[in-house]
A and B are shown apart, each in its own frame.
Chain A
Amino acid sequence: MTAPILELAAVSKIFGTGADAVRAAQSISFAVNKGECLAIVGESGSGKSTVANMILGIYPPSGGEIRLNGTTLPASRKLEHRRAIQLVQQNPLSSLNPRRSIGASLRLALDVHGIGARKERADLVGGLLEEVGLPADFARRSPAALSGGQCQRVAIARALACQSEIVVLDEPTSALDVLVQARVLKLLNQLRETRNLTFVFITHDLSVVRNIASRIAVFEKGRMVELGQTEDLFANPAHSYTRRLISAVPVVTREEDALRSSLAAGLEETTK
Chain B
Amino acid sequence: MSAPTLDIENLKLGFKGYTGYTEVLHGISLSVNPGERVALVGESGSGKSVTARIVLGLLQELRAARIEGRVRFEGQDLDSLNRRERHALRGKAMSMIFQDPTSSLNPVFRIGDQFHDVLRRADPRITRDAALGRAASILAEVSVRDAVRVLNAFPFQLSGGLNQRVMIAMALANEPALLIADEPGTALDVTVQAQTLHLMRKLVEDHHTAVLFISHNLGVVREFADQIYVIYKGRIVEQGPTEAVFDGPRHPYTRALMAAVPRLTGGGIPDIDENSPDFGAPLETHEREGRQ
Contact = CB atoms under 8 A, between A and B. Distances in A.
Interface of A: 43-44, 148-149, 177-183, 185-186, 189, 204-208, 210-212, 230-231, 234, 244-246, 248-256, 259-260
26 contacts: A44-B160, A149-B274, A177-B44, A179-B274, A204-B190, A205-B262, A206-B264, A207-B219, A207-B262, A207-B264, A210-B262, A211-B262, A211-B269, A212-B262, A230-B266, A234-B264, A246-B264, A248-B193, A249-B190, A249-B219, A250-B190, A250-B218, A251-B263, A253-B263, A256-B265, A259-B265
A212 B258 CA distance: 18
B271 interface: yes
B222 A250 contact: yes
A244 B192 CA distance: 11
Contacts of A234: 264-266
**Which of the four size classes fits the interface of chain B?**
35 or more
B264 A179 contact: no
Given A177-B43, A250-B217, A210 B190 contact: no
Contacts of B265: 210, 234, 253, 255-256, 259
A212 B273 CA distance: 19
A211 B261 CA distance: 11
Contacts of A249: 190, 219, 264
A130 to B, nearest CB: 18
A55 to B, nearest CB: 22
Contact of A180 (B218, B266, B269, B274): B274
B101 to A, nearest CB: 14
A250 B242 CA distance: 14
Contacts of B274: 149, 179-180, 183
Contacts of B246: 252-253
Interface string B208-241: 0000000011111011000000000000000000
A246 B190 CA distance: 9
Contacts of A181: 260, 262
Contact of B191 (A149, A244, A259): A244
Interface of B: 43-44, 160, 189-194, 197, 216-220, 222-223, 246-247, 256-258, 260-274
Given A181-B260, A210-B263, A250-B219, 19 more contacts: A43-B190, A178-B43, A179-B43, A182-B269, A182-B272, A183-B274, A186-B269, A207-B219, A207-B263, A208-B262, A234-B265, A245-B190, A248-B190, A249-B219, A250-B217, A251-B264, A252-B222, A256-B263, A259-B264
Contacts of B191: 43, 244-245, 248
A177 B46 CA distance: 11
B246 to A, nearest CB: 6
A179 B257 contact: yes
A211 to B, nearest CB: 5
A34 B268 CA distance: 21
A130 B246 CA distance: 37
Given A210-B263, A251-B264, A178 B269 contact: no
Contacts of A178: 43, 216, 218, 257, 260-261
A16 to B, nearest CB: 19
Contacts of A253: 246, 263, 265
Given A149-B274, A182-B269, A259-B264, A251 B43 contact: no
B268 A211 contact: yes
A230 B267 CA distance: 12
Contacts of A246: 264
A179 B272 contact: yes
B189 A260 contact: no
Contacts of A182: 260, 262, 269-272
A191 B131 CA distance: 59
Nearest to A253: B263
A249 B191 CA distance: 8
A183 B259 CA distance: 12
